[in-house]
């Protein structure tokens, strides 16, 4: 099967916001406790943060991490996580049916982010709380000194403010599972009034309003239209969430879910444009895709805890063990975000450690990279620059509700400063190689720098604590450069990252 890709230096979709490769940490399961924080572990530093986990996070280099939730935030009192640890209350977390010790709060999380070189993206509780708690939290985090909340921060050990610029106005408020669930008019009004209060303090803040929890919600896409009708001039982003499943064990349909994602983004982009036109606005609102990942492997196992009668501390929930087919889908999802980077400016993989995460740990034991770590690593490291618009000619296959889906999924990013192009490629075909021909227009020459691939015949193979390096990228084979063209073959069901040095 033959495929052809044409790109040109001057055909640019957008300059990619590096926050497209963000992440998410929630007080949920073992994401925080025995994830990033485990005092007494052999790898723990003096503050209890695991150095082995921190090193892996630094490899991924997420520019931002969203915190503290998630469903957790909708019944969270941020004040529980400040002050002397021995005085912090233990609370019941209604979202994840567990106990929260509050041993990690805003101070500890901020310290961890500074170690990792990450900016914080903070969420406020608009479920059980509202405007007053949100503005107090902002004052505690961002005001230098001379007010009640900023002076309390100083007494609690932090002199300088953290100056967090990106704030989420609640979480998944369209979901009936959410503590404090609201209809679109109720939430849109509250988001607007909360946003006005926060921007009264600092007009340069970036605010994210809650969009749909998934594209199958009955309220989608009317939810976005109603919410934005209330708060378009106040907020800067509308959030979207989507999780991917393969319960039917239908690999072709599973790998096509990135096409559903693309239509989801396109639909909400249309809603944004409609509200902008309706309000005769000159302002642009973008999409913040602040929860996305594969999530289904652990759902049956987790019911015992989530529907049980006890309230465990940091239970092992949502600990999906990711396989090769999951890595291929993650590659397709990241390609979609790159191709839609003119509308999706921020995205956060959910989550970062242990809970549906690219990094796994054992309590008291080792840490390892899951299969999905690698496409995220390559995109984060080499997918910064200008997303190029591609003309792709590929054979297709039929998928229910999606129509014809191309076997070839590809994106390209031009890093002008480095003089490189990175291509991220997935062959969805279950049995055939794809002949791959890329015409690099606008470049006088190119040289192959690096080709890495995930090409493993067992789609269900995964990494484990016993075999942490079982699935990992290997040097790719079969691609060559001829002048300003890249040619070769892509093996069936494979992921590829290709870097080229280019001259203009």
Q: Which of 26, 100, 108, 172 is catalytic?
A: 172
Q: What 3-state DSSP class applies to 497?
A: strand
C-alpha pair distances (Å), 435 with each of 75, 375, 408, 458: 53, 22, 10, 22
Q: Which residues contact 361 (CB under 8 A, 6 or more apart)?
A: 30, 34, 35, 38, 50, 52, 53, 353, 354, 367, 368
On the 0-12 / 13-18 / 19+ scale of CB atoms within 10 A, 500 is buried
Q: Which of 224, 291, 319, 325 is catalytic?
A: 291
Do 58 and 116 touch, CB atoms closer than 8 A? Answer: yes
Q: If we measure between CA atoms, which residue out of 387, 389, 423, 425 comes closest to residue 406? A: 425
The answer to whether 291 is a known catalytic residue is yes
In 3-state terms the chain splits into helix, strand, coil percentages (rounded to 5) of: 30, 30, 40
C-alpha pair distances (Å), 252 with each of 92, 323, 407, 432: 42, 15, 9, 13
Do 351 and 292 touch, CB atoms closer than 8 A? Answer: no
Check residue 82 and report its DSSP letter: S
On the 0-12 / 13-18 / 19+ scale of CB atoms within 10 A, 146 is exposed
Cα atoms in the Cβ-side hemisphere of radius 13 Å centred on 103: 15
Do 370 and 471 touch, CB atoms closer than 8 A? Answer: no
CA distance 137 to 201: 12
- Say if strands 474-475 and 445-454 run parallel, antiparallel, or are unpaired: antiparallel
The answer to whether 259 is a known catalytic residue is no
Q: How far is CA 77 from the centre of its chain?
A: 24
Catalytic residues: 172, 291
């Amino acid at each position: 099967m033959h495929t052809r890709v044409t790109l040109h230096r001057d055909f640019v979709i957008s300059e990619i916001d590096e926050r497209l490769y963000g992440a998410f940490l929630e007080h949920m399961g073992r994401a925080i406790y025995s994830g990033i924080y485990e005092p007494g572990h052999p790898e723990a530093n003096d503050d209890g943060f695991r150095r082995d986990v921190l090193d892996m996070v630094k490899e991924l280099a997420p520019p931002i991490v969203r915190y503290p939730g998630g469903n957790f935030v909708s019944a969270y009192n941020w004040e529980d996580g400040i002050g002397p640890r021995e005085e912090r209350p233990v609370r019941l977390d209604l979202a994840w049916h567990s106990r929260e010790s509050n041993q990690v709060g805003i101070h500890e999380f901020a310290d961890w982010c500074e170690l990792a070189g990450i900016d914080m993206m903070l969420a406020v509780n608009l479920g059980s709380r509202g405007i007053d708690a949100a503005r107090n939290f902002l004052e505690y985090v961002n005001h230098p000194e001379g007010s009640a909340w900023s002076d309390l921060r100083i007494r609690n050990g932090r002199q300088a403010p953290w100056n967090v610029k990106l704030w989420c106005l609640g979480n998944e408020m369209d979901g009936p599972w959410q503590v404090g669930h609201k209809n679109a008019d109720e939430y849109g009004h509250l988001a607007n009034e909360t946003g006005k209060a926060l921007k009264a303090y600092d007009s340069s803040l970036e605010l994210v309003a809650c969009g749909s929890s998934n594209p199958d919600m009955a309220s989608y896409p009317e939810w976005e239209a109603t919410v934005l009708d209330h708060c378009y001039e106040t907020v800067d982003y509308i959030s979207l969430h989507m999780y991917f499943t393969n319960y039917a064990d239908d690999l072709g349909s599973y790998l096509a879910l990135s096409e559903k994602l693309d239509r989801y983004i396109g639909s909400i982009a249309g809603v944004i444009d409609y509200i902008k036109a309706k309000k005769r606005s000159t302002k642009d609102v973008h999409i913040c895709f602040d929860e996305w990942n594969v999530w289904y492997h652990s759902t049956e196992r987790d019911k015992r805890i989530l529907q049980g009668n006890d309230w465990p501390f940091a239970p092992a929930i949502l600990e999906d063990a990711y396989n090769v087919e999951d890595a291929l889908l993650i590659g397709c999802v990241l390609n979609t975000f790159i191709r839609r980077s003119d509308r999706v400016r921020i995205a956060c993989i959910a989550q970062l450690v242990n809970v549906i995460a690219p990094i796994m740990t054992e309590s008291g034991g080792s840490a390892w990279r899951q299969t999905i770590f690698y496409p995220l690593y390559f995109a984060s490291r080499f997918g910064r620059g200008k997303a190029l618009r591609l003309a792709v000619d590929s054979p297709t296959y039929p998928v229910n509700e999606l129509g014809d889906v191309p076997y070839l999924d590809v994106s390209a990013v031009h890093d002008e400063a480095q003089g490189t192009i990175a291509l991220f490629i997935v062959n969805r075909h279950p049995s055939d190689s794809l002949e791959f021909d890329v015409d690099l227009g606008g470049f006088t020459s190119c040289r192959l720098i690096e080709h890495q691939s995930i090409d493993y015949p067992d789609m269900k193979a995964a990494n484990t604590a016993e075999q942490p390096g079982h699935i990992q990228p290997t040097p790719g084979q079969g691609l060559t450069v001829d002048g300003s063209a890249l040619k070769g073959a892509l093996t069936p069901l494979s992921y590829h990252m290709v870097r080229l040095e280019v001259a203009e």
